[in-house]
Chain A
Amino acid sequence: MTAIKPDLSVEVAGLVLKNPVMPASGTFGYGAEYAPFFDLNDLGAIVTKGLSLKPKAGNPTPRIAETEGGMLNAIGLQNVGIDAFIREKVPLLGTLSTPVIANFFGNSLEEYGEVADRLSNIPEIAAAELNISCPNVKKGGIVFGTDPKAAAEVVSLVRRRFSKPLIVKLTPNVTDIALMAKAVEEAGADALCCINTITGMSIDVHTRRPRLANTTGGLSGPAIRPVAVRMVYQAAKAVSIPVIGVGGIMKAEDALEFLIAGATAVQVGTANFIDPCAMVEIIRGLEAFCVARNIGRIRDLTGSVLIQ
């Protein structure tokens, strides 16, 4: 008997993805950084580094610190700005057949709206991911992301000005993720992405100084995965739009955990730093799992967790 090739395709916010694996914003540059290592078209989608209206310098160094099973970062949303993005990065992205999702943020409602307008006019961009969850800059979105009213306000504003699929990336630094998820869904989001990094801190005991210049940073990596799986499970139960799961995925089994918890697709972040081909291996692993388990369509796994 020959194994039938499983169908890895999923649909997120109206986008059909050939497989459910894409990079997490900020861990994959603008795509070109990883082009030497594999064919970017093998991915379900590409997600760009977070974009803002004006170029952004980012935080002072040190910006990263390794912790037990994770890393703290406080990059500070350093990015080239929307104009340079269009000029310098879009040409390569335009040559790809896989959908490109532009992650973006603003310092104010007006800025969120302006970036949304600009993104609307880029045909190479298939969808946008609205960041209301960066923990490392005061106005980088987290003020919008931790209050359901403020979140709904920015999402509905962007919704009115951006007609392509809109994904909203949520922060885990809230008491009730289901409440945030519902508020964002009602405001017009087509999909959710859970979770951004968890705010953390690490201190060098010899110097008594924080290990990040920014004092606090966002924790990512395998250390946060159980928290992320729990939040994806809760968010997916609360809404009827698709949820993209992200947080500490290193291998195919980790990705499967998110799908079974309720995610339709997954993002891979920190693992890209450790192995540039991590996502390709995860896609292969998902396929092998489906073959071994006789699963015809990976989308059937979504939300299939068995709870007594």
Chain B
Amino acid sequence: MNEQTVKNLKTQVLSNQEITPGYFRMRILAPGYPKSALPGQFVMVRVQRSLPPLLRRPFGIFRTGVLPPDCEGLPGKEYLEILYKVVGRGTEILRDLHQGDRIEVLGPLGRGFTASLDGREQILVGGGIGLVPLYMLARELVKTSKVRLYMGGRTREDILCVTEFDRLGVETYVSTDDGSLGEQGFVTQALERRLAQGPGALVYACGPMPMLDAVQKICRAKDVELQVSLEALMACGVGACLGCVVMGEGHSEETPRYLCSCKEGPVFDARELAWQRLDMENDYCEGCAS
């Protein structure tokens, strides 16, 4: 984390639109973010000043950008965007915000993806709202590498913003559990087929824990480097509360190795984590925290 740039912005909503049923895309005025936010980083959003909810909610940064200058020739407004699924009280309040409403954003936080730009093919794997942190990464990777995206969801409504990846020049493959869009089946089947073709590639993944675990097994079997972005319940986002820890490889009672998802993550090299002991039922998802 670039600590110099972390700050609590008291800012406002620029737009908030439903993109597929239950999923929203919010644009927030965020001076500095286009320069400071790195792919895979997140923000802690205070949805309103009154209770509830008490705690902020973590959301992955989907993208940053600058609006065109207005007619008076003033510099364009810098913004960030989050995507979220309405799953609880926090996201219900977010859903009801409109242009001009006040919002607080703490960030950019966490350790993002490390792009390896050595000419190898770059493979992104996203499950549902797990697509969020992959867009900014793709935007970097396409500058030097061939990039493929494997995007999965339960139904077509869980497949978000794929055309925006197309526009970057990313080759996208879609699969859904019910076959309502793309191939029927799990996204991991398509990944497995691709890796079976060899040769070297790098994989970056974000999505539900069972999907990440499957991706990690596939990559381990093929000896392919993998970075995963995890989702966790967290209170502070800055490494103080220790609520969001995950077990690191080699953890034991005597030699504790808990890693903070907020500070040492949310992106981890898959080999850093004790996969057999991670909680696979966790479905609190950054980008869709309640």
Contacts and interface: CB of A to CB of B under 8 A. Distances in A.
A66 B8 contact: no
Contacts, number: 104
Given A63-B242, A272-B240, A68 B52 contact: yes
For A56, A64, A275, the residue with the greatest tally of chain B CB atoms inside 10 Å of its CB is A64
Interface stretch (B35-43, B62-70, B214-222, B245-253): B245-253
Interface stretch (A3-11, A70-78, A181-189, A234-242): A70-78
A304 interface: no
B233 interface: yes
Contacts of B235: 64, 71, 73, 270, 273
A71 B52 CA distance: 11
Interface stretch (A28-36, A123-131, A139-147, A255-263): A28-36
A73 B243 contact: yes
B53 interface: yes
A27 B4 CA distance: 21
A63 B245 contact: yes
A34 B240 contact: yes
Contacts of B282: 61-62
Given A36-B6, A61-B245, A63-B243, A274 B238 contact: no
B54 A78 contact: no
B51 A64 contact: no
B50 to A, nearest CB: 11
A288 B55 CA distance: 27
B55 A66 contact: yes
Contacts of A66: 52-55
Interface in A34-54: 34-37
Contact of A71 (B54, B232, B251): B54
A68 B54 CA distance: 8
A273 B241 contact: yes
Cβ-closest 4 pairs across A and B: A57-B256, A64-B243, A273-B236, A29-B240
